[in-house]
Structure 1
Amino acid sequence: VCDTLCGVGTQISGVQGSLFEHTQRRQLGDGAFIEIRAGWLSDDPSGSQDLLDALLNTVAWRAERRQMYDRVVDVPRLVSFHDLTVEDPPHPLLGRLRRRLNDIYAGELGEPFTTIGLCYYRDGADSVAWHGDTIGRSSSEDTMVAIISLGATRTFAMRPRGGGPSLRLPQAHGDLLVMGGSCQRTWEHAVPKTALRKGPRVSIQFRPRDVR
């Protein structure tokens, strides 16, 4: 079994439910699981590239800073957050994708995805450190986070919090990854920086309310 759970793609213009039915679920233990659909949006390269270009050029990207030991440093990526209970998504296609994800997963999740988080990795030096999305209810409850990748291929790394073998999952343009169950509490994930030359990548994260 390949660690990336390889699959086939779909058309960006009409996301088909049957493709979700063929998505493989990988159980990670302790109630955690992942699902990956490689190339979910990339069967229409021009459409998915147009979405990437639109997000890069129209989103109000924000730089963050954080305390690290005795100094404040720049967070190595740009971000944008959208609460869809009070605002429209930054691109109409994101609203359609959210509705389709809700059609498939809201029954199991018990609630809809209501927020979109965007991360802009400008090059291989941009990254996100090991963490779980444990701000809010996900610190004590099972949840789901669905991530669509656009742009350059980057490694999505995962490791169990209690120790054990890690996963390195290459996420390419148009790929969909879903982390579910206890994944945010029992596993950590990261996008490590790389010395390889990389173009821009945007990560689109769909979450339910009060999960960050």
Structure 2
Amino acid sequence: MTVPIQASILDQADEIGLGTLGPVERTQLGDRAWVDLLPNWVACAQELFEFLYRAVPWHAERRRMYDSMIDVPRLLAFYDEHDPMPHPALERARAQLTTHYARDLGEPLCTAGLCLYRDGGDSVAWHGDTIGRGAREDTVVAIVALGAQRPFLLRPRGGGRSLRYSIGHGDLLVMGGSCQRTWEHAVPKTSKRVGPRISIQFRPRDVR
């Protein structure tokens, strides 16, 4: 990984702030599914990206696909509810999101899953976060995107016309209600030259 890290970033840790969470643009998708979008929620987003790019213990994974084991096309990290976050801004983000979405969620956001998309060849295929309670219960998954903008696609489960968002640079996108069961999302590969991107997914307990 070759992103340059400024020496002053650690000194600037307290300067990485968050905007307010109201009003947020909400799109109703049907069947109690919805998605919120708030551009530029994270102030000093580039500094936070560079810090996480360097400080997080990224690792590669292999997963079974049909009869073969394949490399997951992105790097990963996971912070469980009792793990210290890699940066205090993530603690503040989780707390602020929990407060704002208390009526929609009814419980705290506990975990943070991080993905590093190194270039346009890294991606995530169509899926819903249905490991655990997301397969049978309404929930909230809040995504903070840092670094280069990449398309984030949503489509009805089983196929249909997709919605396209371009998120990065501190944008916040939140999927709620039945979205994980009734819709799917993806970050497709691209042949365009794009820089690295970090996605931070805040979820409640037992939702992956």
Give the partner amino acid of 1:69: Y
1:87 aligns with one of 83, 86, 97? 83
Q: Structure 2 length normalisation: TM-score?
A: 0.89
Q: Counterpart of 2:28 in structure 1: which amino acid?
A: Q
Matched, 1:173 2:166: no
Q: Is the Cα–Cα contact under 8 Å of residues 16 and 48 in structure 2 kept in the other structure?
A: no
Counting aligned pairs with the same residue, the percent is 60
Structure 1 gap segments, 5+ residues each: 1-11
Per the TM alignment, residue 16 of structure 1 is displaced from its structure 2 partner at its CA by: 4.1
Q: Distance in 1 between matches of 2:158 and 2:118?
A: 32
TM-score by length of 1: 0.88
Return the offset for 1:54. Answer: 1.1
Match of 1:123 among 102, 119, 125: 119
Matched, 1:62 2:59: yes
Give the corresponding residue for 1:31.
Answer: 32
Tell me the CA shift for residue 13 of structure 1. Answer: 4.1
Please tell me whether the aligned partners of residues 158 and 168 of structure 1 are also in contact (alpha carbons under 8 angstroms).
yes
**Structure 1 residues 52, 16: closer, same or farther in 2, change over 3 A?**
closer
**Conserved? CA contact 2:24–2:38, under 8 Å:** yes
Measure how far apart 1:66 and its partner are.
1.5
Question: Residue 77 of structure 2 aligns to which amino acid in structure 1?
Answer: S
Matched AA of 2:178: S
Matched, 1:209 2:187: no
CA contact 1:118–1:205 (8 Å) conserved in 2: yes
Structure 2 CA distance for aligned equivalents of residues 14 and 107 of structure 1: 24
Instruction: Give the root-mean-square deviation of aligned CA atoms.
Output: 1.3
Shift of 1:62: 1.2
Once the two structures are superposed, residues 121-165 of structure 1 have per-residue CA deviations (whole angstroms, 9 ceiling, x without a partner) of: 000000000000000001000000000000011000111014332
- Equivalent residue for 1:142? 138
Give the Cα–Cα distance (whole angstroms) in 1 for the partners of residues 146 and 175 of structure 2.
Answer: 18
Name the CA distance, whole Å, in 1 between partners of 2:120 and 2:188.
Answer: 9
Q: After TM superposition, where is structure 1 displaced by more than 4 Å over at least 4 residues in a row?
A: none
Deviation at 1:99, TM superposition (A): 0.9
Instruction: Determine if contact 1:106/1:113 at 8 Å carries over to the other structure.
Output: no
Q: How does 1:93-112 map to 2 (within 5 A)?
A: 93-112=89-108
Length, aligned pairs only: 194
Question: C-alpha displacement at 1:173, in angstroms?
Answer: 1.0
Instruction: Show the counterpart of 1:75.
Output: 72
